[in-house]
Amino acid sequence: METNFHTLEGCSREVEISLTTNELQPHFDKAYREAIPEIEINGFRKGKAPLSVVKQKFGQRIENDSLESIADESFRTIIKEQDLKVIGQPTLRDLRKEPTKTTFVIRYDVLPEVDLQGYQSLTLKKPIFNVTDEDVEKELDAIALNNGTTEVADAIDSYQVRVKIKVHELDSITGMPIIGGKATEDNFFLDHPDIDPKFKENFLNLKTGDSFRFTFPHQHDHDHDHDHDHDHSDIPSLVEIVSIEKINPAPMTDDLINTVTKGRLTSVEAAREDIKKSFTQYWETESRKLLETQIVDQLVEMHEFPLPESLVWQLMNEMVEDIKRQYASSPGIEKLTVQQMAGQIRPQAEKLAKWEIIRSEIAEKEQLKITEEELMQLAAESNVTFEQLQMYIQQNPSFVARMLSGKVFENIIETSVFQEVPAEEFQQMM
């Protein structure tokens, strides 16, 4: 087997692999052995025709059909022999048949050379959280509200009410309801934290049947909206109050906590401790996410190297498939293509590709690996057998990559310098 390598732009490479007729023959023989059992020829039982007859009638087709798999097998041999750091899916670009040999031209991407720097001395902002008694009491108040009773009210004298509304879209020119327009209805707790404060303040002191005008900001239906000609202006609307229900909080008692938690907690004091623990765990998780985001942002910013195009497209494909799963019920979503989304998602895909390469380089330099002992421990903690875990890993190759990513983050965090910031500043960074 003769090979001839060519360096193309960036991370792209090509190799010409030439096999002589004698070198091709064992591959062709294998192709015949695999094809014969399925071949039917008049005068012979299925799969029982002599090889000479099969070659005479189907030889050229069988040999031509096998060339792509021969190219793939030969390339895999070269990867192993040359220790090539191939990334992405190689492609067969050309195939040249000559009297004495056949040449395959395969294009592939390799990992770029990365001059690692700065990852052992990053400066990271670390949020400081203090779960206060006020935080805990607010959560207890929410439990009381969610389990309280309701009564019909005529007017809104506080935000502790549930309102039903009708929203009529208005003509932007006349300011009148659109003729034939259909009103939309909604029902919500007015003091819910997700309610826009500017919207909420319009309700105070209004009665059932009252209305007010409000301009809702346009909401993109999906992140994949690529119709630039669509009108994205704000929406003037008339909000009509259909009904009002005042909520009377349930008394905060041990019995209430026992009922709400289905016996997991049996007292108000136990609930306070549980809420405080949950809040602490939540903020620790969010703090870790913020640290990881800063690490990725800083290391991506300080490293410049060419990106393998195949890796970028692989990540864009994964992003589009995620969008399709997320919006599976949307009409026509199955027709969404990477080409349609490329302009919007490519910057994020390039960032992810760069981080994957940097992360891999750090793991190799620091000799970070997932050991068999760690996998056995994980299997025990997950209440599965080691064999079941191995099967899962084979079906989900990214699983070990995520575990290794955690080790890389830990390695970087251990050598980083921290600037403590108050929780308020952290929330603005989220």
Q: pLDDT (tens digit, 9 = 90+) per residue, 130-184?
A: 899 999 999 999 999 999 999 999 999 999 999 999 999 998 788 888 877 788 9
**Taking Cα atoms as reference points, which of 424, 420, 423 lies closest to residue 280?**
423
How do residues 249-271 score in pLDDT, each as one tens digit?
Answer: 999 999 999 999 999 999 999 99
Q: Look at residue 222 in the predicted model and tell me its pLDDT.
A: 44
Structure tokens at 178: 């659109």
pLDDT at 221 over 60: no
Helical H segments across 132-241, by residue range: 133-146, 197-200
Across the range 46-61, mean pLDDT stands at 87
Average pLDDT of the chain to the nearest whole number: 90
The enclosing H or E element of 356 equals: helix 338-365
Q: Helix 398-414 crosses helix 386-395 at what angle (to 10 degrees)?
A: 100
Considering only CA atoms, which of 114, 110, 106 is closest in space to residue 18? Answer: 106
* CA distance between the termini of the chain: 56
Quote the percentage of the chain above a pLDDT of 90: 68
C-alpha 240: how far from its chain's center?
Answer: 40
Which residues, in sequence order, are CB contacts of 299 under 8 Å at separation 6+? 118, 119, 122, 355, 358
- Say whether pLDDT at 238 is over 90: yes
Q: What is the pLDDT of residues 173-212, one digit of tens each?
A: 888 888 777 889 999 999 888 899 999 999 999 999 999 9
pLDDT of residue 429: 60
Per the CB < 8 A criterion, the answer to whether 323 and 224 are in contact is yes
Q: Can you give the pLDDT at residue 179?
A: 79
C-alpha to C-alpha distance for 265 and 270, rounded to whole angstroms: 6
Domains and their CATH numbers in the chain: 2-110 (3.30.70.1050), 149-248 (3.10.50.40), 268-429 (1.10.3120)
Confidence of residue 427 (pLDDT cuts 50, 70, 90): low
Confidence of residue 319 (pLDDT cuts 50, 70, 90): very high
b/e per residue 347-375 (b: at least 16 CB within 10 A): eebbbbbbbbbbbbbbbeeeebebeeeeb
Residue 428: the pLDDT is 64
The CA–CA distances, whole Å, from 259 to 142, 143, 264, 268 equal 15, 11, 9, 11
Question: What pLDDT sits at residue 20?
Answer: 95
pTM of the model: 0.72
| Percent of all residues in the chain with a pLDDT value above 70, rounded to a whole number | 95
- The per-residue pLDDT for 233 is 62
Q: How confident is the model at residue 228 (pLDDT cuts 50, 70, 90)?
A: very low
Contact 362, 117 (CB under 8 A): no
Q: Cβ(178)–Cβ(236) under 8 Å?
A: no
Segment 336-391, tens digit of pLDDT: 999 999 999 999 999 999 999 999 999 999 999 999 999 999 999 999 999 999 89
Tell me the pLDDT tens digit for each residue of 91-112: 999 999 999 999 999 999 998 9
Q: How far apart are CA 176 and CA 213, in angstroms?
A: 11
Predicted confidence at residue 315, as pLDDT, reads: 93
What's residue 337's pLDDT?
94
Q: Encode pLDDT of 298-316 as tens digits.
A: 999 999 999 999 899 999 9
Residues 116 and 410 sit within 8 Å (Cβ to Cβ): no
Contact yes or no for 31/55 (Cβ under 8 A): no
Residues 69 and 78: their CA atoms lie apart, in Å, by 14
Rg value, the chain, Cα: 32
Strand partners, 236: 215
d(CA 322, CA 21) in angstroms, rounded, equals 46
Pairwise CA distance, residues 322 & 398, whole Å: 15
Span of 121-125, 232-236, 425-429 with lowest mean pLDDT: 425-429
